[in-house]
Amino acid sequence: MAFLEIQNAGKIFTTGTGVYEALRGVNLQIAEGEFVSLIGHSGCGKSTVLNMVAGLGLATSGRILLEGKPITGPGPDRMVAFQNHSLLPWLTVRQNIALAVNAVHDQLSESERTALVEEHIALVQLQAAADKKPQQISGGMRQRVGLARALATRPKVLLLDEPFGALDALTRGRLQEQLLKIWEAHRITVVMVTHDVEEALLLSDRIVMMSNGPAAKVADTMTVELPRPRERLVVINNPNYYRQRNELLYYLSQAKKQTATKTVPVVKAGSGLEKAALTLGFVPLSDCAPLVIAQEKGFFIKHGLTVTLSREPSWKAILAGVLEDRLDGAQMVAGMPLAEAFKRESVPLISAMTLSRNGNAITLSRRFWEEGVRTRADFKRYLTEDRSGKRHTLGIVHPTSMHNLLLRHWLAGGGIDPDRDVNLVVIPPPQMVANLQAGNIDGYCVGEPWNTRAVQEGIGFVPVTDLDLWPGHPEKVLGLKESWAARYPQTQLALVKALVEACLFCEDRANRAEVSRLIGAKAYVNSEYTAQGLSGSYDYGFGRTAQLPDFNVFFAPTNRTEQLWVLTQMARWELLPFPPHWREVLDRVYREDVFQQACTELGHKLPAASYQPLVLPDGSRLDPADPLTFMQTASAVA
């Protein structure tokens, strides 16, 4: 259990005009000694979360735990430093701090309390002003008194609500650096609300991005990729600083746009389409290329659609966006629509077409290379001989992704049980490298450019790509709500047509340089490493390179058995049950009719998809006539 844990917390306020739901389903785990910042636009519930942790306003639903015990009200184990220092004007600096120390530490002797007060006056460097009253010192000094008062009570959690927001830039910078030194010396758990992206990056271990209100929740978390201890002049010269700063600013910009367009009515199409203005979600990966190309090369407009592409922080956010109708559709991991069919009585999601194939790799930490690991057999040997007692952790992007299924397939094929011999944890793709660098994980399976970045920055290597495991596997699909597709059939056909043309453009090797340039832009993947997988030249790390022209594939015929393989593996690893009527389930989730119609109308008629035996490079064979035997045979770890 985490040191501080927010579990599915919600907050509802009753106002003069009715009920306002500020927060819904907020989940957050904070480790002891961690510095976490909350950012987001006004009204996103940042301060409400802080107040709930402080016990100043209890959660309406869910609960908040500190060291496993529910928070039921204010307490000295949680102290708040507000933007307004809230000092008593008739007391001196020393007396303001002593007031808090005497109230909390009445079990200490007078001399011990006095020593505690003097220690914290010195901590914030206010010895010369100790006998002055608040009106006799500057705003920055008053803020330091408020910070010293909070710290002097020796809380388990320090809560900061924009503590430097009212100060001038120079004073704010000095206090940020002083807080940083204090935190590094004492490693107290800190939760801070801020609007200042630079402040969050300088101070934090993680930055929590809140979604827009009402019913705000945690949209994503970012692990700060800056080494500690930190100094401002050193930090601003670190290339990760500007990349992560841009990511945060982009997130805030997108959130602001969503707020501005929330009440914009749907545009009625004039070309027979039921709906012309669409919002489509994607995750920043190289294989988001079809969506980006359809936008940048005008294929959406060609087919009567006005599309807004929404860069989402994770596959979890993608799923929620489509199910909650914030997104009309999205790039999804291949198994996501199938998994949702088993959570509800109806089929909420369908896969309208396959957007990409291949494109993944498994990356392991550099230290495994230094221990002689080159292959799966080496990795198995390392795990067997390791006497550290540590259970090594590998990252996946989503339980229903091919990354999870292929990583499990690779591990199990080498005699490594993915549920007992290692830990598998879900991490959004853009956060894989940071977590590997920080030592939070020992490797991962993800799409590009996040393997290439680890290789180029010298923190990891690639023992195997998915071409070695299953060349041609479905990777990302166009996910739509079934009800949406039924309501807008002509719009769905136009959307698929635009994406078919974009896939064909991406598939043409002559276009790959342009594709790489377009998707690498700030608005999309925002990375300099998009070219490798798309170019066909692949760097595994430490001098090993290869030509892999089919590393990314965007247009190919479908073998229906590939969808059956996904189902058998999800059942094998107990992600869902294997249904006796599996053909009906797959036919309903993975739609071929609209895709075939779109291809035909565009002059690219494909052979009808059918169930054909599937043979993988390791020799395993899935016969659609007997999937249960395949699943049972594969279930025993080799």
User: What percentage of the chain reaches a pLDDT higher than 70?
Assistant: 95
Residue 252 lies in a domain: yes
Min mean pLDDT across 100-104, 372-376, 447-451 is at: 100-104
Which residues lie below 8 Å from residue 242, measured CB to CB, with a gap of 6+?
none
Residue 271 lies in a domain: no
Residue 456 lies in a domain: yes
**Nearest Cα residue to 556 out of 598, 609, 593, 517:** 609
Q: Are residues 174 and 56 in the same domain?
A: yes
| ω into 214 cis (within 30 of 0) | yes
Q: When comparing pLDDT for 482 and 526, which is higher?
A: 482
Which residues lie below 8 Å from residue 528, measured CB to CB, with a gap of 6+?
520
Which of these three, 226, 256, 286, is where a domain ends?
256
pLDDT at 638: 41
pLDDT at 632: 76
Mean pLDDT of 430-440: 87
The yes-or-no verdict on residue 85 having pLDDT over 70 is no
The yes-or-no verdict on residue 266 having pLDDT over 60 is no
Of the pLDDT bands very low, low, confident and very high (cuts 50, 70, 90), residue 259 is low
pLDDT at 389: 81
Which of these three, 437, 469, 501, is where a domain ends?
469
Task: Identify the bridge partners of residue 223 per DSSP, sorted by sequence position.
Answer: 206
Q: Are residues 308 and 450 in the same domain?
A: no
Q: Tell me how far apart the alpha carbons of residues 608 and 91 are, in angstroms, rounded to a whole number.
A: 83
Query: Which amino acid, residue 206?
Result: R
Coil vs helix vs strand at 9:
strand
Number of domains in the chain: 3
How far is CA 295 from each of CA 104, 121, 300, 363, 592, rounded to the nearest angstrom? 60, 58, 6, 31, 23
The yes-or-no verdict on residue 269 having pLDDT over 60 is no
Residue 264 lies in a domain: no
The yes-or-no verdict on residue 148 having pLDDT over 90 is no
pLDDT at 344: 64
Average predicted confidence (pLDDT) for the chain? 89
Query: Do 318 and 332 touch, CB atoms closer than 8 A?
Result: yes
Containing structural domain, residue 463? 360-469
What is the DSSP secondary structure assignment for residue 264, as one 8-state letter?
Answer: P
User: What's 161's domain CATH number?
Assistant: 3.40.50.300
How many CA atoms, within 13 angstroms, populate the side-chain half-sphere of residue 182? 24
Q: When comparing pLDDT for 207 and 438, which is higher?
A: 207
Q: Are residues 547 and 415 in the same domain?
A: no
- Virtual torsion, Cα 479, 481, 486, 491, nearest 10 deg: -50
408's enclosing H/E stretch is helix 402-413
Q: Are residues 367 and 481 in the same domain?
A: no
Q: Are residues 449 and 518 in the same domain?
A: no
Q: Are residues 410 and 372 in the same domain?
A: yes
Residue 384 lies in a domain: yes
Of the pLDDT bands very low, low, confident and very high (cuts 50, 70, 90), residue 345 is low
Read off φ and ψ for residue 233, nearest 5 degrees. -65, -30
Q: Tell me how far apart the alpha carbons of residues 246 and 230 are, in angstroms, rounded to a whole number.
A: 19
The yes-or-no verdict on residue 635 having pLDDT over 60 is no
The yes-or-no verdict on residue 260 having pLDDT over 60 is no
pLDDT at 341: 86
The yes-or-no verdict on residue 192 having pLDDT over 90 is yes
pLDDT in tens, 242-252: 778 877 887 78
Which tokens hold the place of 331?
């790039």
Mean pLDDT of 520-532: 86
pLDDT at 258: 63
582's enclosing H/E stretch is helix 582-589
Of the pLDDT bands very low, low, confident and very high (cuts 50, 70, 90), residue 17 is confident
Q: Are residues 432 and 381 in the same domain?
A: yes
223's enclosing H/E stretch is strand 218-223
pLDDT at 132: 92
Residue owning tokens 């100043």: 56
Residue 100 lies in a domain: no
Task: Tell whether pTM > 0.75.
Answer: no
Q: Are residues 489 and 595 in the same domain?
A: yes
The yes-or-no verdict on residue 187 having pLDDT over 70 is yes
Residue 628 lies in a domain: no
Q: In what order do the strands lie in the sheet with 69-70?
A: 18-30, 4-15, 61-66, 69-70
Q: Are residues 31 and 168 in the same domain?
A: yes
pLDDT in tens, 509-523: 999 999 999 999 888
Q: When comparing pLDDT for 414 and 173, which is higher?
A: 414
Min mean pLDDT across 134-148, 289-303, 405-419, 510-524 is at: 134-148
Q: Are residues 354 and 436 in the same domain?
A: no
Which tokens hold the place of 307?
């599309």
Q: Are residues 336 and 406 in the same domain?
A: no
Query: Do 180 and 169 touch, CB atoms closer than 8 A?
Result: no
Q: Are residues 334 and 384 in the same domain?
A: no
Mean pLDDT of 28-54: 92
Residue 368 lies in a domain: yes
Q: Tell me how far apart the alpha carbons of residues 233 and 180 are, in angstroms, rounded to a whole number.
A: 14
Residue owning tokens 């025993």: 636
Which tokens hold the place of 526?
């925002």
What is the DSSP secondary structure assignment for residue 317, as one 8-state letter?
Answer: H
User: What's 605's domain CATH number?
Assistant: 3.40.190.10
Give buried/exposed letters for 346-370 (b at 16+ CB in 10 A, else e): ebbbbbbbbbbbbbbbbbbbbebbe
**Strand residue runs (E) in 82-195:** 157-161, 189-193
Handedness of CA 56, 62, 65, 71 (dihedral sign): positive
The yes-or-no verdict on residue 343 having pLDDT over 90 is no
**Nearest Cα residue to 594 out of 489, 463, 479:** 489
Of the pLDDT bands very low, low, confident and very high (cuts 50, 70, 90), residue 270 is very low
